[in-house]
Amino acid sequence: MANTEFSYVKTFESNDVLPPSQWIVIRIDGRGFSKLCIKYNFQKPNDARLMHLMNSAAERVLQAFPDMVLAYGQSDEFSFVLHEDTRLFERRSAKLSSSVATMFTAEFCMGWVDAMGVEVGGDGKLERPWPTFDGRCICYPKKKIIRDYLAWRQADCHINNLYNTTFWNLVLKGGMSGTEAEQELKGSVASDKNEILWSRFGVNYNQELEVWRKGTVMYRVYDDVGGGGGGEEKGVDAKSKSQLEKERKRKMKAKIVQEHTDIIGDGFWEKRPYILATRGAE
């Protein structure tokens, strides 16, 4: 940047470099999606087309950023986990969050017609105001805290989906108004909602699709495994530029897997220890 008499204005910029050696989560959230759902008449309580569109956009983001080790999404949000040693965008918070949020928004909008078809909005085309997503960065110093964060999001998925499933059954099948359904569920716990679903509507919540109850987790699977199951990523020490480039290309070629499974317990992580492995660990 040119060194002119006006360069002093850079001193007003804030330093938003995130601390080193900490895991970074970039969480994106849909803006105004309640109104969007009404405008395009999405299916209640869940719309499979919207879910596939969200997952497709997230997979393209994960593919574009090799330093992302995992993504988890539910409803209108997705969390992308960057490895603790990432130097992406020099770990600048604004660059990270804005880059991911804008790419996700673009992929979401570009995939709209294919995902939604002619059933939505008449001819399937989006209208202003366009769907958009905001983003934020959060740092976590330990793997345990990263796991707790992801567990928190999956628990939130279950709580929200159980409520929404019960609410919309009361409205669509029970003939209640939205206000009446809200009042019916006020102060209720999970067992109360399960009882309402089963006794009034014959719905066994535990048999609902796992994608709605558990959300979607995405991660890479590698072909060149070294004895570990599930596509274990090879450990690396301090790397040269050529080694870094080789690793980047390897990640770009890796297969991205989508699963709707429990990530709160140990099972998922014990089968895939490489996802949160320290670089250099054999």
101 near 135, Cβ under 8 Å?
A: yes
Helices of type H across 173-237: 178-185, 190-201, 210-214
pLDDT of residue 244: 65
H helix runs in the chain, sequence order: 33-39, 48-64, 93-110, 112-116, 143-172, 178-185, 190-201, 210-214, 241-253, 267-271
The DSSP code for 112 is: H
Is 192 annotated in a binding site? The answer is: no
- pLDDT tens for residues 161-211? 999 999 999 999 999 999 999 999 999 999 999 999 999 999 999 999 999
CB 150 within 8 A of CB 72: yes
* pLDDT, position 229: 38
Residue of higher predicted confidence among 233 and 165: 165
With respect to residue 28, please indicate whether it lies within any of the assigned structural domains. yes
Query: Is the pLDDT at 279 greater than 90, yes or no?
Result: no
123 annotated as ligand-binding: no
Domain holding 34: CATH number?
3.30.70.3000
Consult the annotation and say whether 85 binds a ligand: no
Has residue 53 been placed in a domain? yes
Which residue shows structure tokens 């002119």?
Answer: 4
148 is in an annotated binding site: no
Q: Which tokens belong to 51?
A: 């879910």
Q: How far apart are CA 79 and CA 73, in angstroms?
A: 6
Q: Distance (Å, rounded) from C-alpha 49 to C-alpha 259?
A: 17
Global model pTM greater than 0.85:
yes
Can you give the residue range of the structural domain that contains 79?
16-276
Count: domains in the chain: 1
| Residue located via tokens 């895991």 | 23
With respect to residue 281, please indicate whether it lies within any of the assigned structural domains: no
> Is residue 1 included in any domain, yes or no?
no
What are the tens digits of pLDDT across the range 256-278? 999 999 999 999 999 999 999 98
